[in-house]
């Protein structure tokens, strides 16, 4: 049986809107170039499709500058899809905007109990558990609401802490296979990945910790040669995608898609 944590038949992505120039960001590192972002996004979608997955690309939502980062709006598991409740007020409507597309695929959508907030960027799903990092966008009540749903499907939720000054838990980590996690040292030093095999990004290349394992490939942002070389030597099939514009609004590889294999 293929590992369900990174074996996917489907993905959903959304083109970046021109309003991305007003996207949220922790630090101002420049204004995203919309045209270049579109080119990077198209290359990203092409790589996902190269694995044979069915990739749905949604049109831009100008009213929601950050809506290209669809991962924050939902958690898609084999058993069902759960609508998230983003912690940034300007993003609250994004979950409802993508709900119809996901309902068409899954048949229905599970909603969290009222209270609290949670974003998909703080959720790392492995084959044995769901790790959720508390952050400025995800609180304890949101994690508890998620746990109430997924526990019925047999999932174990483990609540962790995202390092101070880091936007999302997965800003600093990604799953490489059933037993291996790519992480920054500042995150793994907390001991949150005890029991997993750890590979650390190279010093100065922390921004590439947010990569994705998608079927047989690992999709990484371009421009991090030491980590790319290390993962290649470890036997991973690496595909590099430009991410300079998404990075200006705190986006990475996982943020740009919802990845799943719905149980039929």
**This prediction's pTM:** 0.96
Q: Is 24 annotated as a binding residue?
A: yes
Distance CA 224, CA 30 (A): 20
> Are 137 and 119 within 8 A, CB to CB?
yes
DSSP annotation of 112: P
Distance CA 163, CA 36 (A): 30
pLDDT the model gives residue 264: 62
Give the strands of the sheet with 217-221, arranged side by side. 212-214, 217-221, 238-241
Q: Is 213 annotated as a binding residue?
A: no
Q: For the segment 43-88, what is each residue's pLDDT rounded down to a tens digit?
A: 999 999 999 999 999 999 999 999 999 999 999 999 999 999 999 9
pLDDT the model gives residue 1: 62
Radius of gyration of the chain from its Cα atoms, rounded to whole angstroms: 17
pLDDT the model gives residue 263: 82
Distance CA 192, CA 179 (A): 14
264: tokens are 């039929």
Give the strands of the sheet with 110-111, arranged side by side. 74-76, 81-83, 110-111
Q: For the segment 220-238, what is each residue's pLDDT rounded down to a tens digit?
A: 999 999 999 999 999 999 9
> Are 120 and 72 within 8 A, CB to CB?
yes
pLDDT the model gives residue 38: 98
Phi and psi (nearest 5°) for 217?
-120, 160
Q: Which residue numbers are catalytic?
A: 168, 255
Q: Which of 50, 57, 46, 42 is nearest to 11 (CA)?
A: 57
Distance CA 156, CA 202 (A): 31
Distance CA 180, CA 61 (A): 35
Which three-class secondary structure state does DSSP give residue 63? coil
Q: Is 245 annotated as a binding residue?
A: no
Q: Is 71 annotated as a binding residue?
A: yes
Q: Any idea which residue has 């200006």 for tokens? A: 248
> Are 86 and 136 within 8 A, CB to CB?
no
pLDDT the model gives residue 123: 98
* 113: CB partners within 8 A, 6+ apart: 145, 148
Q: Is 125 annotated as a binding residue?
A: no
List the chain residues with pLDDT less than 50. Answer: none
Which three-class secondary structure state does DSSP give residue 100? helix
Q: For the segment 141-153, what is each residue's pLDDT rounded down to a tens digit?
A: 999 999 999 999 9
């Amino acid at each position: 049986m293929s590992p369900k944590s990174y074996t996917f038949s489907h993905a959903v992505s959304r083109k970046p809107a021109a309003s991305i120039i007003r996207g949220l960001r922790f630090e101002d590192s420049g204004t995203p170039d919309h045209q270049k972002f579109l080119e990077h996004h198209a290359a990203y979608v092409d790589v996902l499709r190269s694995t044979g997955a069915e990739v749905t690309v949604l049109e831009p939502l100008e009213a929601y500058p950050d809506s290209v980062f669809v991962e924050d709006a939902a958690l898609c598991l084999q058993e069902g899809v759960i609508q998230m409740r983003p912690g940034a007020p300007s993003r609250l409507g994004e979950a409802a905007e993508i709900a119809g597309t996901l309902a068409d695929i899954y048949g229905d959508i599970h909603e969290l109990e009222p209270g609290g907030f949670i974003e998909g960027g703080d959720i790392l799903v492995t084959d044995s558990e769901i790790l959720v990092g508390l952050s400025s966008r995800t609180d304890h009540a949101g994690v508890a609401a998620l746990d109430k749903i997924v526990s019925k499907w047999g999932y174990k939720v483990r609540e962790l802490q995202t390092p101070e000054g880091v936007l999302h838990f997965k800003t600093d980590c990604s799953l490489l296979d059933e037993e291996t996690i790519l992480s920054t040292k500042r995150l793994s030093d907390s001991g949150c990945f005890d029991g997993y095999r750890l590979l650390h990004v190279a010093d100065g290349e922390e921004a590439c910790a947010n990569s994705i394992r998608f079927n047989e490939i690992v999709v990484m942002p371009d421009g991090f040669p030491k980590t790319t070389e290390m993962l290649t030597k470890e036997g991973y099939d690496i595909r590099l995608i430009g991410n300079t514009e998404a990075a200006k609004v705190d986006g990475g590889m996982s943020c740009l898609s919802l990845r799943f294999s719905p149980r039929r």
